[in-house]
């Protein structure tokens, strides 16, 4: 069966081929009557827009690339990424745009992403979990518009972003522990070349001051295994700790496993607090007291900024969203 063409649509709608073409390419100067007739004709004929042909006219690819700068396995381990992807797919679909997912966890991956972006295959770039000094960043100024979910260290004034107030959230959790009367409060941070790693540690130190010593701070990499390792390290260094703020729920799940293995009761012996309020927080034993960051709203705001730039905006302002303490059974 022959595929319907733009000529078939024009004939069915009773308009010229040029009028159909102008509508498909986003021309605003098509009369309402012609627009209705063309849309009805497209439905009746089953015509499908040829994206490759349209891109030659509009200079648009019809896609946005999401770049996750982490190893492949983290995409499937961390539930936060699924939220971002789900929101991005929904919002882009409303604009008839597709989402292309690319990993940039090592040098080979980054080179592929750079070739893809510089090759003009995307209308915009959405950066996720970008680390300071990432070579990928040097390729962006000459490419399509780019925004980040969370600030990019050293590029905050160049790459627009939407983010939760990480420092505020860390203060909220640490102040809660102080209010509970906990005296030896430790922390497991995220990677210190990421904004979440840095700012959550800063919020912790804002509250404890000199009590936030190196002996009470261990570093993770956002994975559950790293949270378990860091908790074991803290127990060896400071066996008398009575609370630990963990910079992500996934790492907190690992910390809980280490505490169980060491025979420590939660929260009786050690109170545990996480960060994210992801699905992990309600699946641990006990359920996690944590900091809720509005991840779906962050994703929406990030996509809103990117779509504005794709539509021609010259400048967009960063968006910072508040966090909220969620009290459960771990503290």
pLDDT tens, residue by residue, 33-91: 888 898 888 888 887 665 544 444 445 668 898 888 877 777 777 788 888 899 999 99
pLDDT higher than 80, residue 124: yes
Most confident of 15-19, 32-36, 280-284: 280-284
Q: pLDDT value at position 57? A: 45
Range in 34-43, 138-147, 199-208 with the lowest mean pLDDT:
138-147
pLDDT higher than 90, residue 156: no
Average pLDDT over all residues of the chain: 88
Q: pLDDT value at position 281? A: 95
Q: pLDDT value at position 318? A: 93
Residues 6+ apart with CB under 8 A from 60: 54, 123
Most confident of 4-18, 88-102, 132-146, 268-282: 268-282
pLDDT higher than 90, residue 155: no
| Nearest Cα to Cα of residue 297 among 167, 158, 149 | 149
Range in 97-106, 137-146, 226-235, 280-289 with the lowest mean pLDDT:
137-146
What percent of the chain clears pLDDT 90, i.e. is strictly above it? Answer: 53
Alpha-carbon span 198 to 196, nearest angstrom: 6
pLDDT higher than 90, residue 102: no
Determine the average pLDDT of the residues in 209-226. 95
Cα three-residue angle 235-240-246, rounded to 5 degrees:
55
Alpha-carbon span 19 to 15, nearest angstrom: 6
Q: pLDDT value at position 53? A: 47
| Nearest Cα to Cα of residue 219 among 237, 207, 242, 240 | 237
Pick the more confident residue, 112 or 284.
284
pLDDT higher than 90, residue 184: yes
Tell me 289's DSSP state: B
When pLDDT is cut at 50, 70 and 90, the band that residue 199 belongs to is very high
Q: pLDDT value at position 326? A: 98
Alpha-carbon span 130 to 201, nearest angstrom: 18
Alpha-carbon span 128 to 103, nearest angstrom: 10
Q: Which pTM does this prediction carry?
A: 0.77
Both tokens of residue 253? 């799940």
Determine the average pLDDT of the residues in 80-104. 88
pLDDT higher than 90, residue 191: yes
Cis peptide, bond prior to residue 267, ω within 30 of zero: yes
Q: pLDDT value at position 26? A: 65
Q: Contact, 251 vs 224, CB < 8 A?
A: yes
User: Residues of 16-25 as b/e, b for ≥16 C-beta within 10 angstroms?
Assistant: eeebbbbbbe
Determine the average pLDDT of the residues in 314-324. 93
pLDDT higher than 90, residue 157: no
What percent of the chain clears pLDDT 70, i.e. is strictly above it? Answer: 92
Residues 6+ apart with CB under 8 A from 318: 151, 156, 160, 161, 162, 163
């Amino acid at each position: 069966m022959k595929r319907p063409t733009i000529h078939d649509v024009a004939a069915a709608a009773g308009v010229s081929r040029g009028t159909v073409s102008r509508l498909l390419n986003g021309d605003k100067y098509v009369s309402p009557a012609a627009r209705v007739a063309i849309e009805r004709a497209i439905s009746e004929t089953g015509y499908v827009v040829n994206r490759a042909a349209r891109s030659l006219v509009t200079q648009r690819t019809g896609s946005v690339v999401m770049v996750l700068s982490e190893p492949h396995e983290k995409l499937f381990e961390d539930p936060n990424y699924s939220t971002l992807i789900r929101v991005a797919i929904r919002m882009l679909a409303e604009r008839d745009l597709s989402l292309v997912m690319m990993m940039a966890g090592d040098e080979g991956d980054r080179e592929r992403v750079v070739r893809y972006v510089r090759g003009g295959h995307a209308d915009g770039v959405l950066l996720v979990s970008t680390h300071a000094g990432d070579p990928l960043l040097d390729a962006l100024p000459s490419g399509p518009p780019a925004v980040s979910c969370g600030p990019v260290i050293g590029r905050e004034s160049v790459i627009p972003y939407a983010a939760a107030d990480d420092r505020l959230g860390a203060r909220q959790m640490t102040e809660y522990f102080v209010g509970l009367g906990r005296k030896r409060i430790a922390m497991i941070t995220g990677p210190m070349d990421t904004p979440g790693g840095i700012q959550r540690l800063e919020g912790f130190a804002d509250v404890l001051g000199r009590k936030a010593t190196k002996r009470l701070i261990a570093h993770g990499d956002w994975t559950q295994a790293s949270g378990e390792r860091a908790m074991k390290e803290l127990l060896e260094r400071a066996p008398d700790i009575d609370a630990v703020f963990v910079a992500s729920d996934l790492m907190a799940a690992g910390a809980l496993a280490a505490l169980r293995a060491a025979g420590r009761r939660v929260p009786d012996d050690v109170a545990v607090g996480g960060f994210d309020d992801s699905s992990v927080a309600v699946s641990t034993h006990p359920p996690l007291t944590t900091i809720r960051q509005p991840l779906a709203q962050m994703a929406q705001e990030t996509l809103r900024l990117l779509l504005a730039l794709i539509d021609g905006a010259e400048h967009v302002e960063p968006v910072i969203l508040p966090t909220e303490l969620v009290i459960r059974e771990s503290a």
